[in-house]
Amino acid sequence: MRILVVEDDAEAATAMVRGLSEAGHEVTHAVDGAFGLLESQKGGYDVYVVDRMMPRLDGVGMVETVRKGGDQTPVLFLSALGEVEDRVTGLKAGADDYLVKPYAFAELIARVEALARRRETGGVQTVLKVGDLEMNLIARTVHRGATEIDLQPREFQLLEFLMRHAGQSVTRTMLLEKVWEYHFDPQTNVIDVHISRLRSKIDKGFDRAMLQTVRGAGYRLEA
């Protein structure tokens, strides 16, 4: 997919461009908000990755302008400001996700891909299918092949998120933020415990494990 990186720190930008390119994406770099705005007007991008603090036009100003122009391309905000109110202003300006610096690269890629994917699957779906795993969002049922899988409400939400991002890495932080909707550090890997319970329900007794651990990143549901 095509990604526009708007970042004034040359070193951070270089690392980001390299990392995203190696993950198979086409990356353009703009050095500040004003250039970023010009570049965004050319169109054709799937995601904007915007640094919050930049000279000339900062991230918040750029995103607000982009949104006023009717451009609904998903935006991931990057910021060294990690406080709640900073996150709130960033999201209010029109960003779709917010990542605090310094971040793990896997986290950045996972979030960028999740944003782009969300756009692709815009329509209302009632049934999610990944391989032989099928989730009915109306009846709240899950089947793998012919076997019905009984899930707790939270496990259902967790699996739904994983299925919507099938084939992508999702990080533990993303799961806590998107499934539980909390922003804090759980200290121990409580998410891992929930994943292993879900895994035992959807993979146990099947010859192929769908829910995989991605080293250094998180988890991925493979078809």
Partner 1 sequence: MKLPSLFRRTPFRLTLLFLALFVATASAVLAYVYVASASEARARAEAGVRAEVEALTAVYRTRGVDALNQALVDRTLRGGSYLYLLMDKDRKTITGNISTSPLEPGAAVQGGRWDDFRLTDTDEAGKVRKRQAIGVEMPLAGGEQLFVGEDIGDIEAYLARLTQALWGAMIMVLILGIGGGLVISRRVEKSMSGLNRVVMAVQEGDLKVRAPVTHSGDELDELGQGLNTMLDRLEASMASIRHAGDAIAHDLRSPLTRMRAKLEVALMDADAGKVSGVDALGIALDEADLLLKTFNTVLAIARLQAGGAPDPKVFDAAELATDMAELYEPSGEDKGLEFSSEIEKGLMIEGNQPFLAQALANIIDNAIKYTPSGGAVKFRARRRSSGEIEFSVTDTGPGVPDEDRERVLQRFVRLDNSRTEAGSGLGLSLVTAVAEAHGGRVQLDEGPGAYGGQGPGLRVALILPPASGTASGTN
Q: Which of residues 51-110 bind partner 1 (CB under 8 A)?
A: 82-85, 88, 102, 104
Binding residues for partner 1, rule CB under 8 A, total 22
- Exactly one of 194, 201, 218, 220 binds partner 1 (CB under 8 A); which one? 194
- Exactly one of 42, 43, 126, 182 binds partner 1 (CB under 8 A); which one? 182
**Cα dihedral 216, 2, 211, 187 sign:** positive
CB of 197 to partner 1, least distance (A): 6
Q: ω into residue 102 within 30 of 0, thus cis?
A: yes
Q: Between residues 69 and 186, which has the closer beta carbon with respect to partner 1?
A: 186
Contact indicator for 15, 43 with CB cutoff of 8 Å: no
Interaction between residue 145 and partner 1 (CB under 8 A): no
Taking the CB of residue 186, how many other CB atoms lie within 10 A of it?
13
Interaction between residue 22 and partner 1 (CB under 8 A): no
CB of 196 to partner 1, least distance (A): 8
Of the candidates 55, 30, 31, the one whose C-alpha atom is nearest the C-alpha of residue 40 is 30
Q: Do strands 147-149 and 141-144 pair parallel, antiparallel, or not at all (unpaired)?
A: antiparallel
9 by Cβ neighbours in 10 Å (0-12 / 13-18 / 19+) ranks as: middle
Interaction between residue 185 and partner 1 (CB under 8 A): yes
Contact indicator for 119, 75 with CB cutoff of 8 Å: no
Q: Between residues 4 and 158, which has the closer beta carbon with respect to partner 1?
A: 158
| Stretch near partner 1 under the rule CB under 8 A, chosen from 26-34, 60-68, 161-169, 183-191 | 183-191
CB of 83 to partner 1, least distance (A): 6
Between CA 206 and CA 102 the distance in angstroms is: 39
**Cα dihedral 69, 54, 183, 167 sign:** positive
Interaction between residue 184 and partner 1 (CB under 8 A): yes
Q: Between residues 120 and 184, which has the closer beta carbon with respect to partner 1?
A: 184
Residues of the shown chain interacting with partner 1 in the complex, contacts defined by CB under 8 A: 82-85, 88, 102, 104, 154, 180, 182-188, 190, 193-194, 197, 215-216
